[in-house]
Amino acid sequence: MTQATTTDLLARARTWLAEDPDPQTREELAALLADAETPDADANAKLAWSELADRFADRLQFGTAGLRGELGAGPMRMNRAVVIRAAAGLVAYVKRQGLGDLVVIGYDARHKSYDFARDTAAVVVGAGLRALLFPRPLPTPVLAFAVRHLGAAAGVTVTASHNPPQDNGYKVYLGDGSQIVPPADAGIAAEIDAIGSLTEVPLAADGWETVDESVVEAYLDRAASIVDPHSPRDLDIVYTPMHGVGRDTFLAAMDRAGFPAPTVVAEQAEPDPDFPTVAFPNPEEPGAMDLAFRTAAAAGPDIVIANDPDADRCAVAVPAEGGDGWRMLRGDEVGALLGAALVSKRAAGTFATTIVSSTLLGRIAEAAGLDYAETLTGFKWISRAGGLRYGYEEALGYCVDPQGVRDKDGITAALLVAELAATLKRSDRTLTDLLDDLALEHGLHATDQLSVRVEDLSVIADAMRTLRERPPTTLAGLAVTRADDLTAGSAELPPTDGLRYYLAGDAVRSARIVVRPSGTEPKLKCYLEVVLPVASAAHLADARTRAAELLATVKRDLAAAAGIDD
């Protein structure tokens, strides 16, 4: 690091320190500066310089996912200074666009979430608009509902969803209750860039209002209304909120809909920002459901349901074949089951999913005579499908009531799963039996994922470049018949950093792979699907074995082609 570089870095860090409104992050940054300026450079000084260089290399970029990052001091971390700037940019955008004067603000139970929400309220009121702050940590779907229900100009929820405990985030909705998409994200980002010194942002000391409990009650009424009041309710459930904020809302919704009280996983029942029982608070991660399955082994329920920490996602587990333990259903399996459930309810409108999800929903929609759409990854895109009636993404996100919550909602999805499971139970059938029916009718749609978490983001860039420069011609003995570079965009899809491959061979009806960097985590994600014909129920087991073998080989070959470790 040159003398000029160190001088500039120190100047920027000191400027930040002078403006930082948070005593905790001021103390943190001051300690780093003291270590960095130690006259005799030692290991602590080197570490401090490295940390300062990382924190001040750039700033967190505001995009369609809002903001998300590690807590700490500096522009590349989530902190009160970054949030105040983001809030000021959002308010300036709302005013410039003439969207209205009401902003609703929610938050989860993570470290600093309430502080960030309160700062947002102070910015909104300081700008002359009206701020409504949630009375306590509540699920993200309640915020998305409140934006529509109250006719707000915008909504903010402070959450990092299922990220690790050291992270937090800032998600923005506009008046239709959907997450932002271009060009709104760029417009808000431009307003953030235009903010000078943080001292120029007016902050109200008070004046914001508290969201009335009637809004939560209205959400619960709407949630309960998605199930038929005359459908069966005999179902035993084990439930975990994964140390998040979903428990009370989930239990209230289940009670209001008439279901028996679920058994809650005691060790994960209370909100805890440290998520002490899991490595990652995401039901998809290995080990995250272990305590739920242990509770289920003692309670003997029909199904296990989990929400992620902000309760916008829903995971479902069923008894494993032979009754030995539990099997997590893939997001695509739950997505197909919910689609089938809505078809049985004579749903009308468009079914939508993403290009990384299974194509089975398209088959279900086609058979029912419904419109079908595929979008880019994320509910910000799904929610904008024309005439949307149902949408899902394979990462455990489901929108079963877009007129109520135009985003993924783990509470209402759980209600619909429970109704479906109870209805099947009355006929001595299970969710697994219905999955078998769908495979027989539409072919076995088997999906898997190759997900590589990295410390160095250049690994992802190198893998994408390798695949573009030397694309595979065969994978698992299947010929790559078509390769799409999604950065070009198309009439159906906006541009995105991704690759899509179509494969063909005698063993499959069709196969598809999508490779993309994650938008919220340091991961390269590869989504795989093979579709096999199934002649009869007697052939299902063999088809599943063959599909699993194919997917495993595709993963191995794809990892080798990308130059990454599987």
| Contact partners, residue 387, CB within 8 Å, separation at least 6 | 349, 350, 371
CA distance 376 to 356: 8
SS in 3 state form for 43-72? Answer: HHHHHHHHHHHHHCCCCCCCECCEEEEEEC
Name the residue type at position 411: I
| Contact partners, residue 17, CB within 8 Å, separation at least 6 | 26, 29, 30, 33, 73
Encode pLDDT of 120-155 as tens digits.
999 999 999 999 999 999 999 999 999 999 999 999
CA distance 268 to 467: 41
* 3-state helix, strand and coil shares in percent for the chain, rounded to the nearest 5: 40, 20, 40
* pLDDT score at 520: 73
CA distance 421 to 433: 10
How many CB atoms sit inside 10 A of residue 63's CB? 17
Which pTM was predicted?
Answer: 0.95
Residue 482 in 3-state DSSP? strand
Residue positions annotated with a catalytic role: 161
Encode pLDDT of 232-254 as tens digits.
999 999 999 999 999 999 999 99
**CA distance readout (Å), 510 to 134, 365, 504:** 48, 18, 6
Q: Find out whether 385 and 375 touch, Cβ atoms under 8 Å.
A: yes
Phi and psi at residue 173, in whole multiples of 5°? -120, 145
Per-residue pLDDT of the chain (566 residues; tens, 9 = 90+): 566 578 899 999 999 999 999 999 999 999 999 998 887 667 788 899 999 999 999 999 998 779 999 999 999 999 999 999 999 999 999 999 999 999 999 999 999 999 999 999 999 999 999 999 999 999 999 999 999 999 999 999 999 999 999 999 999 999 989 999 999 999 999 999 999 999 999 999 999 999 999 999 999 999 999 999 999 999 999 999 999 999 999 999 999 999 999 999 999 999 999 999 999 999 999 999 999 999 999 999 999 999 999 999 999 999 998 778 999 999 999 999 999 999 999 999 999 999 999 999 999 999 999 999 999 999 999 999 999 999 999 999 999 999 999 999 999 999 999 999 999 999 999 999 999 999 999 999 999 999 988 888 899 999 999 999 999 999 999 999 999 999 988 888 899 999 999 999 998 999 999 999 987 778 999 999 999 999 999 999 999 999 999 999 999 999 999 998 75
Q: Find out whether 28 and 71 touch, Cβ atoms under 8 Å.
A: no
For the chain, the C-alpha Rg in angstroms (whole number) is 24
Residue 187 in 3-state DSSP? helix
- Adjacent-strand bridge partners of 478: 475
Residue identified by tokens 């309160």 is: 118
* pLDDT score at 357: 97
Name the residue type at position 233: R
**CA distance readout (Å), 227 to 144, 310, 325, 334:** 20, 22, 29, 17
CA distance 248 to 254: 10
**CA distance readout (Å), 325 to 236, 293, 298, 328, 424:** 16, 7, 11, 10, 21
Q: Which domains does the chain have, with CATH numbers?
A: 1-57 (no CATH), 61-211 (3.40.120.10), 218-439 (3.40.120.10), 443-562 (3.30.310)
How many CB atoms sit inside 10 A of residue 396's CB? 27
Closest CA to 437 of 502, 354, 360: 360
CA distance 347 to 340: 10
Residues for the chain: how many in total?
Answer: 566
